[in-house]
Structure 1
Amino acid sequence: MTAAMSRSLVRLQRHFGNILSAGPICPRNQQIRFASNYSTAAAERKRFYQDVSISQGEGGLFEINLDRRKLKTPGGKLFTVPNEALAIAVATEWDAQRDTLKFYTMHLSTLCNTALDNPTQRNKEQMISAALKYLETDTVCYRVDEPHGLVELQKNEWDPVLHWMENRYNVTIGSSSSILGPDIPKATKDTFRQHLNSYSFWSLTGLEYVITQLKSVVLSMGMIDRHLTVEQAVLLSRLEEEYQIQHWGNVEWAHDYDTYELRARTAAGALFVHLTSESSTVKRKLLQD
Structure 2
Amino acid sequence: MSDWAAKRFWSDVTVDLRGEGYVILLDKRLVKTPAKATLAVPSQAMAEAIAAEWEAQGEKIDPRTMPTTRSANAALDKVTPQRAEVAQLIAAYGEDDLLCYRAPSPEELLTRQKQAWDPLLAWAAQAFDAPLRTTEGVMHVEQPANSVINLTAGVTAQTSFQLAALHDLVSMSGSLVIGLAAQAGAFEIDDLWTRSRLDELWQIEHWGQDDDSDATAALKQAAFFHADRFYKLCFKN
TM-score category, normalised to shorter length: 0.7 to 0.9
Displacement of 1:55 in angstroms is: 2.6
**How do 1:120-159 residues align onto structure 2 when only pairs under 5 Å count?**
121-123=81-83, 125-159=84-118
Give yes or no for contact 1:141–1:181 (8 Å, CA) kept in 2. Answer: no
State the Cα distance separating 1:188 from its structure 2 match: 0.6
Name which of 180, 200, 206 aligns with 1:247.
206
Cα gap change, 1:72 to 1:205, in 2 (>3 Å): same
Q: Distance in 1 between matches of 2:195 and 2:65?
A: 23
Structure 1 pair 154/72, CA: closer, same or farther in 2 (3 Å)? same
Conserved 8 A contact 1:230-1:263? no
Residue 107 (str. 1) matches residue 63 (str. 2): no
The 1-side partners of 2:119 and 2:50 are apart by: 35
The within-5 A match list for 1:65-80 is 65-80=25-40
The equivalent residue for 1:215 is: 174
Do 1:43 and 1:103's aligned partners in 2 also have CA atoms closer than 8 Å? no
Q: TM-score, normalised by structure 2?
A: 0.86
Q: Which of 103, 126, 131 is 1:167 aligned to?
A: 126
Instruction: From the superposition, tell whether residues 60 and 191 of structure 1 become closer, same or farther in structure 2 (CA, over 3 Å).
Output: closer
Structure 1 counterpart of 2:148:
189
Q: CA deviation at 1:182?
A: 2.7
For structure 1, which runs of at least 5 residues remain unmatched after alignment? 1-41, 282-289
Task: Please list every run of 5 or more consecutive structure 2 residues that lacks an aligned counterpart in the other structure.
Answer: none
Secondary structure, counterpart of 1:72 in structure 2: coil
Which string of whole-angstrom CA distances, capped at 9 and with x for unpartnered residues, describes residues 264-287 of structure 1?
2112212222333x3x32xxxxxx
- Percent of counterpart pairs with the same letter? 24
**Higher helix fraction (1 or 2):** 2
Once the two structures are TM-superposed, the CA of residue 118 in structure 1 deviates from its matched residue by 2.9
CA contact (8 A) 1:108 1:269 kept: no
* 1:52 CA drift (Å): 5.2
Alignment of 1:7-18 (within 5 A): none
For the pair 1:93 / 2:71, whether they are aligned, the reply is no
Question: TM-score scaled by structure 1?
Answer: 0.72
Q: How far apart, CA to CA, are the structure 2 residues paired with 1:79 and 1:137?
A: 35
* Alpha-carbon distance between aligned partners in 2 of 1:96 and 1:74, rounded to the nearest angstrom: 20
